[in-house]
Amino acid sequence: MLSALSHPVYRRLFTAQVVALAGTGIATVALGLLAYDLAGPRAGAVLGTVLTVKMVAYVVLAPLAAALLARAPRRAVLVGADLVRLGVALALPFVGEVWQVLVLVVVLQCASATFTPTFQSVLPDVLPDERDYTSALSLSRLAYDLEAVASPALAAVLLLVLTPSQLFWGTAVGFAASALLVVSVVLPRRAPEAGAAPSRPDGSFGWRLRRGAVLFVRTPALRPVLALDLAVAAGVSFVLVQSVVVARVGLGLGPDGVAVLLAVCGGGSVVAALTLPRLLRTLPERRVMLGGAVLVTVGCAVVPLVLALPQRGALVGVVLAWAVIGAGWSAVETPVGRVVRRSVGPDDLHAAFAAQFSLSHACWLLTYPLAGLLGALSLSWAAGVLALVAATATLAARALWPVPGAGSDAPSADAPPAVRAHAQVGA
Per residue in 161-179, pLDDT (tens digit) is 777 778 888 889 989 999 9
Which pLDDT score is estimated for 200?
Answer: 46
**Alpha carbon of 198 to those of 155, 175, 256, 418, 427: distances in Å?**
50, 37, 57, 11, 11
What is the model's pLDDT at position 239? 87
Average pLDDT over residues 206-228: 77
**pLDDT the model gives residue 420:** 42
Could you read off the pLDDT of 130-155 as tens digits, one per residue? 778 777 877 776 676 566 556 656 66
309 compared with 38, residue with greater pLDDT: 309
pLDDT band at 63; cut points 50, 70, 90:
low
Q: What is the pLDDT of residue 195?
A: 42
Pick from 223, 192, 209, 214: which is nearest to 336 by CA?
223
More confident residue, 393 or 141: 393
**pLDDT tier for residue 44 given thresholds of 50, 70 and 90:** very low
Q: Is the pLDDT of residue 113 over 80?
A: no
Q: How far apart are CA 34 and CA 93, in angstroms?
A: 9
Judge whether residue 412 has pLDDT over 60.
no
For the segment 1-15, the average pLDDT, to the nearest whole number, is: 82
pLDDT band at 82 (very low <50, low <70, confident <90, very high): very high
pLDDT value, residue 413: 40
pLDDT of residue 49: 66
Supply the pLDDT for residue 35: 64
Kindly state the percentage of the chain with pLDDT values over 90. Answer: 22
Query: Which pLDDT score, from 0 to 100, does residue 135 have?
Result: 78
Q: Are 38 and 214 in contact (CB under 8 A)?
A: no
Distance CA(55)–CA(113), nearest Å, equals 10
Mean pLDDT of all residues belonging to the chain: 78
Report whether pLDDT(50) > 50: yes
What is the per-residue pLDDT for 175?
Answer: 92
Give 128's contacts (C-beta < 8 A, 6+ positions apart).
none
What pLDDT does residue 288 have? 93
Query: By the 8 A CB rule, do 16 and 178 touch?
Result: yes
Three state DSSP letters for 249-313: HHCCCCHHHHHHHHHHHHHHHHHHHHHHHHHHHHCCHHHHHHHHHHHHHHHHHCHHHHHCCCHHH
Among 36-50, 262-276, 372-386, 396-410, top mean pLDDT goes to 372-386
Taking alpha carbons only, the member of 89, 87, 73, 69 closest to residue 27 is: 89
Q: Which residues contact 87 (CB under 8 A, 6 or more apart)?
A: none
Q: How far apart are CA 173 and CA 290, in angstroms?
A: 39
Tally of residues, the chain = 427
Compare 157 and 76 and report the one with higher pLDDT.
76
Q: Is the pLDDT of residue 123 over 70?
A: yes
Region 208-214 average pLDDT: 67
Task: State the average pLDDT over residues 374-394.
Answer: 91
**Whether the predicted pLDDT of 192 surpasses 60:** no
Cβ-in-10-Å burial (0-12, 13-18, 19+) of 21 comes to buried
* Res 204 pLDDT > 70: no
Q: What secondary structure does DSSP assign to 56-82, as a single string?
A: HHHHHHHHHHHHHTTTS-HHHHHHHHH
* pLDDT, greater one: 368 or 111: 111
Position 417 pLDDT exceeds 50: no
Residues 37-60, mean pLDDT to the nearest whole number: 64
Of 36-50, 348-362, 412-426, the least confident = 412-426
Nearest to 356 by CA among 213, 190, 208, 142: 213
pLDDT tens by residue, 243-297:
878 887 888 877 567 667 877 887 888 888 888 888 888 888 889 999 999 999 9
Contacts of residue 169, defined as CB under 8 A and 6 or more positions apart, other chains included, come to 89, 93, 162
Please check the confidence at residue 209 and state whether its pLDDT lies above 70.
Answer: no
Give the predicted TM-score (pTM) of the model.
Answer: 0.68
The full set of domains in the chain, from first to last, is 1-189 (1.20.1250.20), 204-427 (1.20.1250.20)
- Does pLDDT of 301 surpass 70? yes
Distance CA 306, CA 421 (A): 46
